Amino acid sequence: MNIADDLQQRWWNLEASLVERFGKKPDLETILFLIGIQETGFIKEKITKEQKQDLMHVAVCSLLAPSGYYELEGKDSDGWPHFKQLKPMPEMNMMEQENFLKDHILLYFQNSGE
């Protein structure tokens, strides 16, 4: 079994647990959105497209912080976290980027006990 196969299997396991929890299979963007909500506590009935993008950005920064790519600088007066980029992202093609994010998402859920 190679590393990509292991990543795919772990991803399928995560998707299965999210289907069990939410009743349908979320895509990568939806998972980032959910992590953003988890990290900010931002819950509203109506969320604008810009707020959704902001939540996904918070998710990406939160996911990559343990690997040293981002650092939490603090929160603004509305409670939104702000991050500082510490190092550039490695050059990757689209598939590598997706797998990189998936790996960090899996670590996030593993560390949060999900």
Predicted confidence at residue 4, as pLDDT, reads 64
Q: Give the pLDDT band (50/70/90) at residue 79.
A: confident
pLDDT at 31: 95
Instruction: Dump pLDDT digits (tens) for 47-74.
Output: 999 999 999 999 999 999 999 999 999 9
> In the chain, what are the domain boundaries?
3-111
Could you give the C-alpha distances from 99 to 45, 46, 96, in angstroms and in order?
31, 31, 5
pLDDT exceeds cutoff 90 at 114: no
- The torsion defined by the Cα of 85, 108, 106 and 27, in degrees rounded to 10, comes to -80
Strand pairing class (70-75; 81-85): antiparallel
